[in-house]
Structure 1
Amino acid sequence: MTGFSALRGTSDGFSWAWDIRSVNAKGLDLRLRVPDWIEGLEVALRRDLGKALARGSVSLVLRVQREEEDGALVLNAAQLSAVLDAMNEVETQAMDRGISLAPSKASDLLALRGVLDTASSENDTKALSKAILAQFPTLLASFLQMRQSEGDALERVLNDQLTQIAALTQAAQAAALARRDDVAAQLRSNLARVLENADGADEARVAQELAMLAVKSDVMEELDRLRAHVDAAHDLMASTGPVGRKLDFLMQEFNREANTLCSKSQSVDLTRIGLDLKAVIDQLREQVQNVE
């Protein structure tokens, strides 16, 4: 979801600069800073961004400047009147206190902000908005291209981590098969101990407890689900369209199976593999946060 692009443009006495960037987020968060005096601009930009993006915290900044030298200067009568009224008040208070002020010159007044404005027609913002929006697809295409490049690099990282998970799952199966005889011997020992003290015990309850011990030591279902999750992740990344949220959910399932594997391990080797699995899954989960 990370990306950045910048662009500049000019049209009819105006110049502007774009800056768009995005970082990771669970949903789509659009933050636009555009001139509010250009009618309809923000609505149009927000609409186009919403169509092109599905996830990420996106910040778009547009700075527009009027090229003063290209426009005719006109006197802002209201602003000049306000300045003259203020000057009159200042001079009155100064005389009341016996303070003599130097005479003001017209050039001093014209230099004050707002006294002189650049002439503009009623259609300026419409023409400007049209010119700006005409350039926006170029900016957006550059931005999306960078996001795509980041996504291609991220896909290679994710595939590598999924390969590690698949290899660890295979190693876990080998370790589970290797400890099968030990588990069977442990169950036989437990059975003998139970039978020695089973006088008057409920046979159905004894059988149930033994069955639960057997289930708690069997990790094949967890390993099968881990393999299925790896296949599902590969399928999602091969599909078109946003898949970040689905991968987020899949990471929870990965972690659940790894936790169960560790709790059932009853073997140093299997526990070590389970912890390695949890470490890789956690790295995968962090990277998935970057996926749209």
Structure 2
Amino acid sequence: MITSMTGFGKAVLELPEKKITIEIRSLNSKTLDLNTRFPSFYREKELEIRNIISEKIQRGKVDFSMMVELNPAARNQKVNADLIKSYIQEFKNITPTVTDGELLPVVMRLPDVISYTQDDLGEDEWNQIRATIITAIDALNEFRLDEGKVLEKYITSNLTNILDLLTQVVPFEIERITTIKERFAKRLEEVKVEIDQNRFEQELIFYLEKLDITEEKVRLKNHCEYFLKELEGNESNGKKLGFISQEIGREINTLGSKSNHSEMQKIVVQMKDELEKIKEQTLNIL
């Protein structure tokens, strides 16, 4: 089971005097990169909100937003009379002929002319908000699990393709050895020199041992199977899967350097293509 770092969660809290909407979005990141946006009225709870998120969301670039819509009937409105008079006087200094009645509609649209106050944040309200935040996080994590299932299916397909390609190497591996022997024998015939047949066989064996890919095939198969086993595990560990994919890459590169056969090299290129797709998706695993 794997979990994606990409997700979205939302929860809404309806109170008599306000409507609070919590939204959480996440993308892939090496660590928890948290960005929060909420009204200044709830600033005192910022540390607690961050602790809640960091406890339930291990990694990812996370955007948390809290939007509050106040019920107009519940707003405590205050008109700043002194500021209104000051605005009007400033305008009249510029255009003395304009009356106060003409200026008032314009002034009332200016900043801070009307302010809204709220009662202090109560414990009961905060408990409800806290529960709503957790609900949004749970929705985000559920989304991440669903995305993880898609990733798992995609990566499993890529790994299966690598294992299938590995079986296609075998015929060319045998053919390659025969070709090398024939090429060496032909070159020796061309130079027309007498050779020690036993020494020739020893040197040929030594050369072929350097090109032997048995260990690489075994390790590559084991790494792929280990990767598949981790995908089916109970925990999601994107970093560990990233390390395994690096080991897979090393074995594929060694196969390519030892191939000495055009068809085998083509297969190695296809393996690398499948591995790059795996690495790209692994970056998004929690």
Distance 1:193 1:58, change over 3 A: farther
**CA displacement at 1:233 relative to structure 2:** 0.4
Give the 3-state SS of the residue equivalent to 1:39 in structure 2. Answer: helix
Most deviating of 137-146 and 249-258: 249-258
**CA displacement at 1:152 relative to structure 2:** 1.0
Percent identity over the alignment is: 24
Residue number among 51, 55, 61 corresponding to 1:57 in the alignment: 61
Contact 2:177 2:208 in 1 (8 A): no
Deviations 1:8-49 (A, max 9, x none): 222241212222222223333222222233133332222222
Q: For residue 243 of structure 1, what is the aligned residue in structure 2?
A: 237
Distance 1:70 1:183, change over 3 A: same
Contact 2:216 2:255 in 1 (8 A): yes
Distance 1:178 1:210, change over 3 A: closer
Q: For residue 13 of structure 1, what is the aligned residue in structure 2?
A: 17
Deviations 1:135-185 (A, max 9, x none): 112111111111111111211111111111111112223431343333445
Distance 1:210 1:26, change over 3 A: farther
- Aligned partner letter, 1:269: E
Give me the TM-score of the superposition, normalised by structure 2: 0.81
Give me the TM-score of the superposition, normalised by structure 1: 0.80
**CA displacement at 1:117 relative to structure 2:** 3.7
Matched, 1:82 2:78: no
Distance 1:128 1:111, change over 3 A: farther
Distance 1:180 1:38, change over 3 A: same
**CA displacement at 1:242 relative to structure 2:** 3.2
Q: Counterparts of 1:16 and 1:265 in 2: how far apart (Å)? A: 63
Distance 1:33 1:185, change over 3 A: same
Matched, 1:289 2:283: yes
- Aligned partner letter, 1:44: E
Q: Counterparts of 1:190 and 1:215 in 2: how far apart (Å)? A: 20
Q: For residue 255 of structure 1, what is the aligned residue in structure 2?
A: 249
Alignment of 1:3-152 (within 5 A): 3-75=7-79, 79-91=80-92, 93=93, 99-104=96-101, 108=105, 113-121=111-119, 123-124=120-121, 127-152=124-149
Q: Counterparts of 2:138 and 2:102 in 1: how far apart (Å)? A: 53
Distance 1:183 1:135, change over 3 A: same
Q: For residue 162 of structure 1, what is the aligned residue in structure 2?
A: 159
Aligned-CA RMSD value: 3.4
Unaligned runs of 5+ in 1: none
Give the 3-state SS of the residue equivalent to 2:40 in structure 1. Answer: coil
Contact 1:39 1:129 in 2 (8 A): no
Flag the structure with more relative contact order, 1 or 2, with Cα contacts below 8 A and sequence separation at least 6.
2
Contact 1:261 1:274 in 2 (8 A): yes
Matched, 1:270 2:264: yes
Q: Counterparts of 1:260 and 1:190 in 2: how far apart (Å)? A: 28
- Aligned partner letter, 1:278: K
- Aligned partner letter, 2:162: I
- Aligned partner letter, 1:103: D
Distance 1:105 1:59, change over 3 A: same
Deviations 1:211-256 (A, max 9, x none): 7633431111211111111122012212233311111122222222
Q: Counterparts of 1:274 and 1:221 in 2: how far apart (Å)? A: 16
Give the 3-state SS of the residue equivalent to 1:257 in structure 2. Answer: helix
Q: Counterparts of 2:168 and 2:156 in 1: how far apart (Å)? A: 18
Most deviating of 35-44 and 216-225: 35-44
Q: Counterparts of 1:55 and 1:239 in 2: how far apart (Å)? A: 19
Q: For residue 6 of structure 2, what is the aligned residue in structure 1?
A: 2
Equivalences, count: 278
Deviations 1:109-152 (A, max 9, x none): 7676534444532x336554332212112111111111111111
